[in-house]
Structure 1
């Protein structure tokens, strides 16, 4: 028989345990740290006549990060916490944000950052915020026009542009 949690509902089964996820993250970050150590050693991580070489400090930071990853991996292994890391419902909430974000980043190249950002913002306002489509489109267009004015015209910071900006002469 399944016991109810504090809200009176049966607990949801997790997709992975916290132990597995902590070990996986420690292994992935440790692999990146090992890559940083190797690469910085390759470019020179010693001490030369005029001081430290280019890879000296980054290599030592990589060594510290790798040591911390080993400690975290061993702690996760020994404690063996088997609570759920994430449930199906929680993972769906993550993908509600992650999927449109991936599309947004993919559209920056062909459409430019301003049009992509306006579409992303309007889409979120409609899908997640449940705003009327016309309010979402109007607000996102006005906000991104303001951003364009600030970055491109006032600060003279050139951000990725697409066909719309090219048609307008920018």
Structure 2
């Protein structure tokens, strides 16, 4: 009696090497910006450290570490970094978050929070509609009461708050 051989299912996705190369390139760019700014301010020692002296030293260390990451990315085994299914989960969370941040300026923090809760709970959660609506209403109201009325911390407001006199 032979047992069936299970074929390994290779999931498709983004491999590790391009992600590490892209990360290293971004970090190298940031290190070069720090160095450019530091030397523009003066990174020498003239009767004491100039404004850019210590940031330049940190920038050189940052650049060296970034180059090491780039070097290591070519030596490491090129495995899957993230599968497309996992990336889809990230997008399901990141999408509503990007919409939330974009809506803060035109709508204010509280209305944007209500929209975020509606969208996020509608996309991610499997809650009942009345539970989602109640949460989207009560959480921003509670935050408004806590921050604006109790702590008197002004947070970004939109047209709704202006219409209500805040």
Q: TM-score, normalised by structure 1?
A: 0.86
* Offset from partner CA, 1:53-101 (integer Å, 9 cap, x none): 333322222221111011111111123x111122221111111112111
* Offset from partner CA, 1:124-146 (integer Å, 9 cap, x none): 12221111222112122211111
Q: Is the 8 A contact 2:107 2:157 kept in 1?
A: yes
Shift of residue 155 of structure 1?
Answer: 2.2
Q: Which runs of 5+ in 1 are unaligned?
A: 5-9
Aligned length: 162
Q: Is the 8 A contact 1:121 1:140 kept in 2?
A: yes
* 2:68 aligned partner: 71
- The answer to whether the aligner puts 1:3 opposite 2:7 as a matched pair is yes
* 2:80 aligned partner: 84
- The answer to whether the aligner puts 1:151 opposite 2:147 as a matched pair is yes
* 1:7 aligned partner: none
Q: Which runs of 5+ in 2 are unaligned?
A: 1-5
- The answer to whether the aligner puts 1:165 opposite 2:164 as a matched pair is no
Q: Per the alignment, in what secondary structure is the counterpart of residue 75 of structure 1?
A: helix
Q: TM-score, normalised by structure 2?
A: 0.88
1:1-170 superposed matches below 5 A: 3-4=7-8, 10-14=9-13, 16-49=14-47, 51-79=48-76, 81-170=77-166
Please identify, of 104-113 and 144-153, the stretch whose mean Cα deviation from structure 2 is larger: 144-153
Please identify, of 51-60 and 30-39, the stretch whose mean Cα deviation from structure 2 is larger: 51-60
Find runs of 4+ consecutive structure 1 residues off by over 6 angstroms.
none
